[in-house]
Every structure is written in structure tokens, then in C-alpha cells.
Structure 1
Amino acid sequence: MEELLASAEALIGIRSTADRPGELHRALGLALDVVGPDFEIQRFESRGKPSALVTHPDRPGQPRVILNGHLDVVPGTPDQFRARREGDRLYGRGAHDMKVAALVLATVFRSLAAELPYPIALQLVTDEEVGGFDGTGHQVDQGVRGDFVVIGEQSALRVVTESKGLVRARLVASGQTAHAAYPWLGSNALITLWEAVDRVLERYPVPSAEAWATTVNLARIETSNEAVNQVPADAVAWLDIRYPPEDGELTGRSVAAIVEHLRSVAGPGVDVVVDAVGTPHRADAGSAEVVALREAARAVGYSGELLRKHGSADSRFYFPLGVGAVIFGPAGDGQHGPEEYVQISSLTPYAEALSIFLKGLPA
């Protein structure tokens, strides 16, 4: 445990954010050092985001299980990149999401890859926080496949079989500039935009409590207008949309179809641009792998209950291929916040549950 925590503290100290490609490489290198020699490492890179797939040379073939972890983090203040321990908590950016879990996956892989009667793989990526398209998505595009995938995102040893999809979109309004004293001579793009945003939020209101429903976050509104005494002629709103697999208006739809749907909701006067689409994810809760993983969690004293996640994860890249993927990680809290931490006492049971699961699967 002390060896693992020392590596975790070093990894937390690396500012592996999307705008620091050198630090992404450093984080990946540290995790691969934990795995150690005697393994085959297939390296990938897409748009400056490095990733790796690690396998054992004596276990060729498609992996029975892929252990997936991401090493990138969202930005934070300098003090958040200095790990600190307080009792049963290890604090720091990425402690819970999900550098420490990735190191646990690496140690479990290192211990079991040679002795299992089937091949497994360790998938390490560095772009999950910015969409995952250049990490897991890129590897999948290059032909990487597995029978079952365990994503080490935080779950307190519960098994996440469903997570929401993601649409990142922009509403773009154009108008006509004029002097603010004579607004009837112009057309205010901000007003046009706000009316469109209001219609979107009327269609997808912010829930008053947790709800398994499509939600829209108005992330930013901008205009190039800098003068108070001028009618703005342009405005843009950025939307972050999360939707469950049950949403037939978004799930499985093409980008063009999603654009048309959002245009019909937003109404006249705005154009819709979709910048990214991530599918939702659902795994068969009755599959042999999910049942076995839940039993392994219970064997080490945790509930192993099923869970839904409102956030998206790299499991969505496997869902369209019919590959079962779940989220299963240690306990903690505060991801993306100033007091992010992983619960240290959950790390050994987490590793043990993974080991029990892997050893119990048929070849």
C-alpha cells in the first residue's frame, strides 16, 4: 500500500491537463513504470494525446477483459497538484478521478496477466476529461476490442451498468448592429439567442432533484460586441447536454438528426452546431461478467449494487460495438472540486475484488 500511495502522490503531482502534452506523456510513463517490464506495450497517439494498450506476450489474442483507466485531469489550482494525506483520505487533483484507480488497475494487471488462463489488457488513456475520442475512442477506431471492459472510474465498488450520453452544441444567433439609442434600427442577436435558450430550457428544465432524464447545462454565452451603446450583431451559447439511453430523440441519432432536433426545439433565428456526440452506455445487468463482478464486490464487504451515472465515461465507445462495459472503482468524493479525495481503505478491497473477479471468470 505504501508503494502504491507513493506512486499515487507522484502521479497527482503531474499536471496532466489537456493543454500540457508533455505532462500527459509523463503521467503515462509513470503508470507504465508501475506495470514494469516483460509486457508488450502498444502505443497510440491522436492529436497529441498519447495512450497505450498493455498485454502479456504469453497470452495472445483478444482480451477477455480490458482494464481501462485515464490519467488526465481537469485543471486545478497549484495546491491541488500537491497530494496530501489526512486520515483515511488522499487528497489531490485526480485522486478520485481517477489516477489512483488507474494505478490499482495497473498493479492488478501486473500481478495476474501471466497467471490467468485467458488474455487481459490494460488500457491507459490521457484524454477522457476532454471527450475520450483520442484515447479509448482512437484505440477502438484502430481495432482494439475486448469481450468485457472494466472502467476504473469512481463508484465505491458499486457496478455502473448505465451512463448518460453527451452532446456538446452551440446555438449561434446573428443580428444587425445599430446605435443603442435607436434599437429599432437593429436586431439584437443576444435577445434572439436568449429566447432560443429559454425555449431549450423549457423543453429540458433543470430538475429540482436527481432525475434519470435529459438535462441541458447553459455553459457560456458570448458576443463580440464590446460597446454598451451598440446593439450586438452576433451571439453564441454553449450547451452541454446529457441524455439517458431511453431518449429516442438523441440516442443512436446521426449528427444531422441531432442538429435538426435541437433546431426544432430552439426555434427560429438561430443556427445549431454540434461539436461532439458521445453515445450513452448500457451493459446487461444479468450477464455473467456483471454478476461475477457484483459477487466479487460483496466478497470483500461491499454491496456491489447496480448504479447509474449521469456523467459519461469511456464505456460509451464500446457500447455501439455490443461489448459489455461497466464502471467499477474505489470510494471517495469531490471529483473536479477543490477537496477531491480517494478513500485509502477502499483501495485494497478494490484490488481484491478485481482479482476475485478475474480469477473466477471462465476462459
Structure 2
Amino acid sequence: MESLVAPAVELIGIRSTADRPAELGRALGCVLDLVGPGFEVRRFESRGKPSALVSSGGFPRIILNAHLDVVPGTPDQFTARREGDLLYGRGAHDMKCAAVVLATVFRDLAPRLPYPIALQLVTDEEVGGFDGTGHQVAQGVRGGFVVIGEQSNLCVVTESKGILRVRLTASGRTAHAAYPWLGENALLTVVEAVNRLLSRYPVPVAEEWTTTVNVARIETSNAAANVVPADATAWLDIRYPPSEAGPGGDAPAWLREIAGPGVEVEVEAAGAPHHADPLSAEVVALRRAAESVGYEGALLRKHGAADGRFYSAHGVDAVIFGPGGDGQHGPHEYVDLRTLQPYHDALTTFLHTVHP
């Protein structure tokens, strides 16, 4: 385990957020240096987001996928802090420590396996994944099976929700606030549309496998309290399971029907739900590998969208399988160091036992 901590600490120290392209490249270089020479490296770039596919040659039977970007954090979060068996820092759990393990496993096993494998390194998962895994898949990258090292405490995630990033916009007519009947309040129009969405999809009081709507921002260019706003916009993040027909069909039409008249709907980004066959030989082998190191290897569903959806859309099974920890995207994010060696060993067992 200790040999995995030092490179993880170094990687956590890199502020690889979406607004820092140089640091994204630095994080990618750090992991490529950890892998070392002797492998085929294909480099990609899309809209300023670099990525790479490192392989042992040939069509990869297994792809190990890791994202190296993180959400923004305070400066102190980019200095890793160890407290006993816990390692704190931005990206410790999501998912820089897992990336170190995946890179190490690839480096050590790729030359010795009886089939080709690949290590996929991307730097945009936190902002949608379209310019990393999505871009590589669009360029023809495929594999027989994909393991994504997102956090799972050595459970196997075979299903995750789809995502819609939506902008609702309304235009009105300005007027003096003392005479609101002379204007048309665009802000009220947007708020009413948001309320209709939330009435249909209320925020669950506890975990529930259903569609959720997060209201991320409502704004107007109006700058005076005594003026009726003539424009307004709402930003929404919608997550939905494969079973929900509305979001999974014609999303703009579905949203326009709920939002009502006077609201323009723009779907800025969309990602389909992800599903992998829980009875496939690879999933069964991965679960058994987790069991071999003392974990249950249970099947899970994730509410967050994941890069596996890009493969799922092309008929390639992808699962999430990562170490344990907690607090991702929060101020006290940590990885449980006690899970890193079992995670490493389970991946090693899986790669040795999966059928070529």
C-alpha cells in the first residue's frame, strides 16, 4: 500500500480542474510517467482537454479507465493530508488514488497477460466526459470490457443514471415595479416552469431510483428592484434511470410540455443511462475477484452519470469498480487507504482469470 501513497499524494497536489488546462496536462503526464516506457501511447485532445490511451498492442480485451480531473476546491485541499488510514484531499476519492492503482496494475501486468489491455486516461469526466472518453470512443476506441475506477468500495456498479444539462429561458417586457401589470415578468415565468418540473419530480427525502431535478442557478440581467425583469434563465441538472421513458426519449419535447408556454428549452448536454449485463462472464469474474480479497463484490446502481455510458451506447459493457472512501466533491474528501491493496489485488486477480 505504501508504494501507492506517494504517487497519489503527488497527483492530489495538482490542481487539475477544468479551468486549468496546463494542470490537466500535468496530471496526465504524471500518470504516464508512473506507467513508464515500453507501451503504445495514443494521445488525444478535444476542446483543450487532453487524454491518452496506453496499450500493450492490439485490440484491448480489457480497458482500465481513469479520470484525472477534479472539481474545484480550496487551496488547502490540494495538499494531501494523512490521518491514520485515511488520506484527505481533493480527488483522493474521486478518483486520483484509483487512477494510481489502475496505472500500476496496467504497468505491471500488461506485458505478462496473454491478451492485450489498455489504460484510458481522461481529464474531463467532471464536466461531462464528452472530450475525454466520449471523444476517444467517437474516434473508434473500443474494448471487450471496461473497468472504470470510480469509487465503489469494491462493489461492482452495472447501472448508472443518464444526465441532461438544461437551460430554460424566458423573455418578457420590462416595466416599472409599481405597475407590474404593464410588464411581463420573465423571472416569474421561469420560476413557474421550474416549479412544474419539481412538482412532477420532487426532491426525494431519501435515496430513490428515480428522476431528480437539481436547480443549479436562476438568474436575470435585471439589476434594479423597481424594474420588472424582461429576461430570465434557469440552469438544471437532471438525472434519470433507464426505466424513465420521458427523459430517455425526446428530451426537449418532454421538457417543453412540462415547462409550459413562453419558455425556451435548450438541452446543452445529454448522456444516456449506462447498463452492463450483471450476468456477463466479466462481471461474474470481477465479483469473484473482490470476494477473493475479503469483499462482498455486491452489485450497485449509481445515481451519478459515468463515462461508461459512452461504451454502453456501442454495446460494450462497462462497470464501475473502485476503492473505498467518502466525501467526494466535499470539503472532507478522503480515500480509505486500507482498500487500496485489496483493490489492487482484486484487479490483478480479475485480469489473470478473465477469459482471453
Identity %: 72
Q: Which amino acid aligns with 2:320?
A: I
- After TM superposition, list the pairs within 5 Å mapping 1:317-332 onto structure 2: 317-332=310-325
Q: Which amino acid aligns with 1:4?
A: L
Q: Which amino acid aligns with 1:169?
A: V
Distance in structure 2 (CA, Å) of the matches to 1:193 and 1:279: 26
Structure 2 residue aligned with 1:29 = 29
> Does residue 161 of the first structure (1) align with residue 158 of the second (2)?
yes
Report how far residue 189 of structure 1 moved: 0.7
Which residue of 240, 247, 255 maps to 1:243?
A: 240
Count of aligned pairs = 356
Q: Deviations over 1:54-87 (max 9, x none)?
A: 012xxx3211000000000000000000001001
TM-score, structure 2 normalization? 0.99
Q: Aligned to 2:166, what secondary structure does the other structure show?
A: strand
> Does residue 178 of the first structure (1) align with residue 175 of the second (2)?
yes
Structure 2 residue aligned with 1:13 = 13
In structure 1, runs of 5+ residues without a counterpart are none
Report how far residue 88 of structure 1 moved: 0.5
Structure 1 residue aligned with 2:261 = 268
Structure 2 residue aligned with 1:334 = 327
- After TM superposition, list the pairs within 5 Å mapping 1:189-268 onto structure 2: 189-251=186-248, 253=249, 257-268=250-261
- After TM superposition, list the pairs within 5 Å mapping 1:112-127 onto structure 2: 112-127=109-124
Which residue of 68, 78, 85 maps to 2:75?
A: 78
> Does residue 100 of the first structure (1) align with residue 94 of the second (2)?
no
Distance in structure 2 (CA, Å) of the matches to 1:81 and 1:38: 31
RMSD (Å) for aligned C-alpha atoms: 0.7
Which residue of 148, 151, 155 maps to 2:148?
A: 151
Structure 1 residue aligned with 2:55 = 55
Q: Deviations over 1:231-284 (max 9, x none)?
A: 000000001000001111222x3xxx2111100011112110110001110100
Distance in structure 2 (CA, Å) of the matches to 1:3 and 1:82: 18
Q: Aligned to 2:355, what secondary structure does the other structure show?
A: coil
Q: Aligned to 1:9, what secondary structure does the other structure show?
A: helix
> Does residue 297 of the first structure (1) align with residue 293 of the second (2)?
no
> Does residue 360 of the first structure (1) align with residue 353 of the second (2)?
yes
Distance in structure 2 (CA, Å) of the matches to 1:126 and 1:51: 6
Runs of 4+ deviating beyond 4 Å = none
Q: Deviations over 1:161-212 (max 9, x none)?
A: 0000000001101110001111111011111111111111111111111100
TM-score, structure 1 normalization? 0.97
Distance in structure 2 (CA, Å) of the matches to 1:137 and 1:12: 24
